[in-house]
Amino acid sequence: MASLPITLPREVTSVTSCKTKAERFQLLRDIQEALAPYDVKFDRTDVSPRDSTTVISRIDLSAMIDFDAHDQKPSMISWHRASRPLQAVPNCFADHAINPFHRRKATSLPRTYPELVDMLVAGFAAAADGSAFKGA
């Protein structure tokens, strides 16, 4: 399988909070642009006027993030629906962040919005080239 390049640009988003609707939509657009090479689908659900949940999915892995205007920090990334057991992905999640029982869920804890985008790119790039999965 051909390996897709993992490119983590320095400034993947200029968003620094999700307080306004415009910031939340800009962050989603930035994520969509960064993940364009990885054949993902987006499903956004409005929880309230100031909070939405977005599930980003490939055939072999999904990630859920929350855009909440009340949060001071970026959402954690809940990786789930892995088609095979996961292994650590650099710049995304460590081995201790993977569910130890079935290894098909993991959690990433970005500290900034650019890091959130970087982690999503790293995770979906690793899924695309197979390196996110044990035995790949």
Whether residue 5 lies inside any domain: the answer is: no
The rounded distance, in Å, linking the Cα atoms of 120 and 10 is 14
Q: Which residues of 32-68 are buried (b: 16+ CB within 10 A; e: fewer)?
A: eebbeebebeeeeeeeeeebbbbbbbbeebbbbbbbb
Q: What confidence score (pLDDT) does residue 114 get?
A: 94
Give bridge partners of residue 89 from the DSSP assignment: 93
Whether residue 135 lies inside any domain: the answer is: no
pTM here is: 0.90
- Give the range of the structural domain holding residue 55, as residue numbers without chain letter: 21-129
Contact 79, 108 (CB under 8 A): yes
Whether residue 68 lies inside any domain: the answer is: yes
Question: Which letter does DSSP use for residue 62 in this model?
Answer: E
Whether residue 62 lies inside any domain: the answer is: yes
Q: What confidence score (pLDDT) does residue 24 get?
A: 92
Structure tokens at 63: 């990630």
User: How many domains is the chain partitioned into structurally?
Assistant: 1
Q: What confidence score (pLDDT) does residue 76 get?
A: 96
Question: Which letter does DSSP use for residue 10 in this model?
Answer: S
Whether residue 108 lies inside any domain: the answer is: yes
Q: What confidence score (pLDDT) does residue 6 get?
A: 56
Contact 107, 79 (CB under 8 A): yes
Strand 106-108 and strand 77-80: the pairing is antiparallel
Q: What confidence score (pLDDT) does residue 4 get?
A: 59
The rounded distance, in Å, linking the Cα atoms of 101 and 37 is 31
Q: Could you report the average pLDDT of every consecutive run of 10 residues in the chain (136 residues)? A: 55 88 93 96 92 95 94 93 96 96 96 95 97 87
CB count within 10 Å of CB 122 equals 19
Whether residue 120 lies inside any domain: the answer is: yes
What does the chain come to in residues?
Answer: 136
The rounded distance, in Å, linking the Cα atoms of 82 and 90 is 17
Q: What confidence score (pLDDT) does residue 5 get?
A: 58
Whether residue 8 lies inside any domain: the answer is: no
Whether residue 53 lies inside any domain: the answer is: yes
